[in-house]
Amino acid sequence: MLSYRHAYHAGNHADVLKHLILVQMLQYMTQKPAPLWVVDTHAGAGRYSLESEQAKKLGEFQDGVGRLWKATGQPKAVAEYLDTVRELNPDGELRHYPGSPWLAYQQLRKDDRLRLFELHSNEVKLLARSFNGTGRQVHIVEGDGLGALKTLLPPPTRRGLILMDPSYETRNDYAAVLQALKESLKRFATGTYALWYPQLAKIESRQLPDRLKRLPAGNWLHATLRVQAPATDGFGMHGSGMFIINPPWTLAESLRQALPWLARELALGDGADWSLEVQEA
């Protein structure tokens, strides 16, 4: 877990899905006047240089946000997501990429709060540097975000969005997110929970969606974006998914327009696809 550095993967197809959905949720949730708490359990560095050695080593952003940067005919949700990325690239050249914390911070109002957790000591330092000067609105903790949820929920405002996106480098991550969601729903059943996961050949990844659907939650949305068929050798990530508990009611329609377009634009070969499931109590 502590070896993972998101700088190698910033702006890839998985970030596109995760961050497009995050922007849509925050735009809706900040329309109501009551203050909102946003908790990011695996915050990373906050924002990333796409000209860094790490980003260039794998170049994953080139087949993610890089493909969309100057694409035409974008659905509304894609255009709104790209607008948030452009806030870090005012000259029009794609050089920087905002992580989930920075995207969230861009959407928040003065009475909203952002709570960020990160275990990696180097990432925490970069995260603190990214949010230097933001005052009490942003609170950064070097520690286990999943474990800390029991101390934060329910938030004082009774309005909250909790984002969970661990690295899934170990099998324990799959069990940990399920347990954290179960415990969190007991404390804060009306909260909005957004869980990202990778589509991998390993059995834990393939079984996770069904296990999530069995959680005690009446309303949920499950979106996936696959950019290629699973590799024959069983290695590599061929797509990713987002499971949202208590999603904004507008999210499903936005994704019905955006996901087919993204699957075409981000396809890396045969097998690119998308899916969307919604359950309402």
Q: What is the DSSP letter of 61?
A: G
Residues facing residue 118 across a β-bridge: 142
Ordered DSSP codes for 160-188:
EEEEE-----STHHHHHHHHHHHHHHHH-
Question: Residues with Cβ < 8 Å from 280, sequence gap 6 or more?
Answer: 218, 219
Angle among Cα 198, 74, 90 to the nearest 5 degrees reads: 90
Look-up of token digits 């309005």: 159
Q: Where are the alpha helices (DSSP H) in 140-250?
A: 145-152, 172-187, 203-213
Residues annotated as catalytic (active site), given as ranges: 165
Nearest Cα to 26, choosing from 36, 15, 40, 41?
36
Angle among Cα 58, 62, 68 to the nearest 5 degrees reads: 155
Cα(228)–Cα(6) distance, integer angstroms:
21
Angle among Cα 228, 232, 233 to the nearest 5 degrees reads: 120
